[in-house]
Chains A and B, each alone.
Chain A
Amino acid sequence: MNIIVSNSSDDPIYLQIVNQLKQKIINGELSEAEALPSIRSLAKELKISVITTKRAYDELEKEGLIVTVAGKGSYVAPINKEMLRENRMKVVEEKMAEAISTARQVGLSLEELQEMLKLLYEE
Chain B
Amino acid sequence: MEKVLDFINVSKHYMDFSLKNVTFSLERGYIMGFIGPNGAGKSTTIKLMMNLIKKDSGQIKIFGLDCEKNNIAIKERIGFVYDENLFYGELTVQEMKDFIRPFYKKWDESLFARYIKEFNLPLKKKIKHLSKGMKMKFSLAIALSHHAELLIMDEPTSGLDPVIRNELLDALQFLLQDENKSVFFSTHITSDLEKVADFITIINQGEILLSKTKDELLEEYCIVKGRKELLNSNHQKHFIGLKKNKYGFEALAGNKREITKLFGDSVVVEKPSLDDILLFLTRKDEDRVSPH
Chains A and B share a contact (CB less than 8 Å): yes
Q: Mark A residues whose CB is within 8 Å of B.
A: 7, 10, 12-14, 40-41, 43-44, 47-52, 55
Of all chain B residues, which has the CB nearest A45?
B173
Question: How many contacting A-B pairs (Cβ < 8 A)?
Answer: 46
CB pair A40–B213 under 8 Å, yes or no, is: no
CB pair B174–A49 under 8 Å, yes or no, is: no
- Across the interface, A48 reaches (CB within 8 A) one of B29, B30, B196, B219, namely B196
Give me 19 other A-B pairs in contact (C-beta within 8 A), A49-B198, A52-B215 excluded: A12-B218, A12-B219, A13-B215, A40-B176, A40-B179, A41-B177, A43-B173, A43-B176, A47-B195, A47-B196, A48-B196, A49-B31, A49-B195, A50-B31, A50-B198, A51-B30, A51-B199, A51-B215, A55-B215
Please list the 5 inter-chain residue pairs (A to B) with the smallest Cβ-Cβ separation, ordered nearest first.
A51-B198, A44-B173, A49-B198, A47-B195, A40-B177
8 A Cβ contacts from B202-238 to A: 213-215, 218-219
Of all chain A residues, which has the CB nearest B27?
A51
Interfacial chain B residues near A10, Cβ < 8 Å: 271
Shortest Cβ gap from B163 to chain A (Å): 15
Q: Kindly state whether residue B197 has any CB partner on chain A within 8 Å.
A: yes
Shortest Cβ gap from B5 to chain A (Å): 16
| Bound: A48/B193 CA distance, A | 10
Interfacial chain A residues near B213, Cβ < 8 Å: 51
CB pair B174–A44 under 8 Å, yes or no, is: yes
| Bound: A51/B138 CA distance, A | 29
CB pair A14–B215 under 8 Å, yes or no, is: yes
Shortest Cβ gap from A69 to chain B (Å): 15
Interfacial chain A residues near B199, Cβ < 8 Å: 51
Q: Kindly state whether residue B169 has any CB partner on chain A within 8 Å.
A: yes
Give 1 or 0 for each of B165-188: 1 = CB within 8 Å of chain A CB. Answer: 000010001101101000000000
